[in-house]
C-alpha cells in the first residue's frame, strides 16, 4: 500500500467512524423522543382554553422537533456510509503515485481485449457459412460455450460477433488513457513553482499534484468568488485554495493571478 492508498484507507476509516457516531446519536435521540411521547396519555387531546394548553403545545412541538433531529442524524449517518463506500471506487486518481503504472496496465488490458475482439470477428467472418465451424473456432480461442453461442447468434440488427461500436469505444478508451498517461508524465517533469503576488502566494506542488493559492488571512469575498469561479476550493488541511495540478489548472491560475494583481493596482 503506497502513501496515497494509506491516506484513502484513513479517509474511509474516518468516514465510517462518523457514520457510526451519527447512527448512535440518531438512535439515542429517537429513543429520547419516544420517551417524551410516552409522558402524554394515549389519545390525550390538547385541552383548548385550559391553563396547560400553551405548555402542552410547546411540549408536543419539542417531541416533534426531537423526532426530526433523529431522522436528520440518520440521514447524516447514511451520507457518511455512502461516502465511505465510494472511497477508492472512482477509478485511478492522478494523486496516486502509482497512477502511471496502473493506467499503463489498463491500456495493456484494453489493447489485448481489442485484439481479442478483432480476432473473434475475423473467425466469425471466416466461417460465416459454417455455424459449427464458427462455434468450434471460438471454443479454441478459449471462449465458453455460452459466450460462443451468444456471439454467433444474430443481434437485433442481424449482426454477429462484437459490434463495430464496441471496438470503437474500446479504442477510444485506450486513446483517452494514453493521453492521461502523457499528462501525468508531463506533470512529473514539472519543476516546483512559487510566485509571490499581491497579497498571495501561488505555488505548484508537484509531489502533492496541486496548484495552490495561499493568503495571510481570509481573502475578501470577491477574491474567494474569483478562486471558486476558476476551479479552486478551500482545503482546511492545507490552509490554502487548491485544485489538481493540470495544464488547465495552470491556465486558470494565471487568470486568477492577473485578476488579483490588477485589483491590487487599482
CA distance 83 to 76: 11
Give the position of cell 429520547: 32
Q: Are 230 and 255 in contact (CB under 8 A)?
A: yes
Residue 56: what pLDDT? Answer: 86
Determine the pLDDT at residue 98: 86
Its pTM stands at 0.65
pLDDT 10s digits, 188-247: 888 888 999 888 999 998 888 899 999 988 999 999 999 999 999 999 988 999 999 888
Residue spans per domain, the chain: 3-86, 99-186, 193-265
Q: What are 18-40's pLDDT values in tens digits?
A: 999 999 999 999 999 999 988 88
Amino acid at each position: 500500500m503506497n502513501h496515497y492508498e494509506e491516506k484513502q484507507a484513513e479517509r474511509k476509516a474516518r468516514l465510517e467512524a462518523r457514520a457510526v457516531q451519527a447512527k448512535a446519536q440518531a438512535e439515542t435521540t429517537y429513543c429520547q423522543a419516544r420517551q417524551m411521547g410516552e409522558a402524554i396519555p394515549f389519545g390525550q387531546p390538547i385541552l383548548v382554553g385550559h391553563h396547560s394548553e400553551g405548555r402542552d403545545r410547546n411540549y408536543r412541538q419539542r417531541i416533534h422537533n426531537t423526532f426530526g433531529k433523529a431522522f436528520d442524524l440518520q440521514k447524516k449517518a447514511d451520507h457518511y456510509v455512502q461516502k465511505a463506500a465510494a472511497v477508492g471506487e472512482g477509478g485511478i486518481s492522478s494523486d496516486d503515485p502509482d497512477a502511471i503504472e496502473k493506467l499503463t496496465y489498463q491500456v495493456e488490458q484494453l489493447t489485448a481485449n481489442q485484439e481479442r475482439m478483432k480476432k473473434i470477428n475475423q473467425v466469425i467472418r471466416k466461417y460465416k457459412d459454417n455455424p459449427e465451424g464458427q462455434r468450434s473456432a471460438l471454443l479454441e480461442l478459449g471462449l465458453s460455450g455460452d459466450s460462443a453461442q451468444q456471439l454467433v447468434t444474430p443481434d437485433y440488427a442481424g449482426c454477429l460477433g462484437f459490434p463495430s461500436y464496441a471496438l470503437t469505444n474500446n479504442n477510444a478508451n485506450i486513446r483517452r488513457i494514453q493521453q492521461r498517461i502523457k499528462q501525468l508524465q508531463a506533470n512529473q517533469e514539472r519543476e516546483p513553482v512559487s510566485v509571490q503576488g499581491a497579497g498571495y502566494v501561488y505555488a505548484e506542488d508537484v509531489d502533492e499534484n496541486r496548484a495552490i493559492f495561499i493568503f495571510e488571512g481570509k481573502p475578501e469575498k470577491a477574491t474567494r468568488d474569483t478562486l471558486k469561479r476558476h476551479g479552486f476550493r478551500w482545503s482546511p488541511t492545507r490552509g490554502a485554495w487548491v485544485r489538481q495540478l493540470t495544464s488547465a489548472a495552470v491556465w486558470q491560475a494565471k487568470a486568477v493571478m492577473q485578476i488579483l494583481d490588477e485589483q491590487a493596482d487599482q
